[in-house]
Amino acid sequence: MTINLRDFDGEYSLTLGAGGLAADAAVTAAGHEPNGYFWEGLVRFAWPDIAERLDFDSEAGMFCAVGSSGDLERLKTVVESVITSPEAVRDIVARAETAGFEFDD
């Protein structure tokens, strides 16, 4: 599992390969596919203050966000804590379902 934060001539992106993550079993148990679109939805729900300032280009096999280096550094920190914690994923998914949020996975 690797989260990559890259600078392409002043354009910053954060990518995460989907699959093979510690939290995948919790995602699947919650009835979702642990793909890039799921992780994008999780970010949009759990951290809307960061997500609203980002552009997303996720795919089935990869989560991808584009934005400022500061926003992406913050995102990297919070996402790292979640992808390694099935409990955190279960909590966020339960809160999302209660709020009526729909994941596009």
The torsion angle over the Cα atoms of residues 105, 48, 72 and 67, rounded to 10 degrees, is: 90
pLDDT at 26: 95
What the chain holds in terms of domains, given with CATH numbers, is: 8-98 (3.30.1370)
Contact 49, 67 (CB under 8 A): no
Residue-by-residue pLDDT tens, the chain, 105 positions: 579 999 988 899 999 999 899 999 999 999 999 999 999 999 999 999 999 999 999 999 999 999 999 999 999 999 999 999 999 999 999 999 999 999 988
pLDDT at 90: 95
pLDDT at 34: 94
Place of tokens 């799921």: 38
What span, in angstroms and rounded, lies between the C-alpha atoms of 44 and 39? Answer: 9
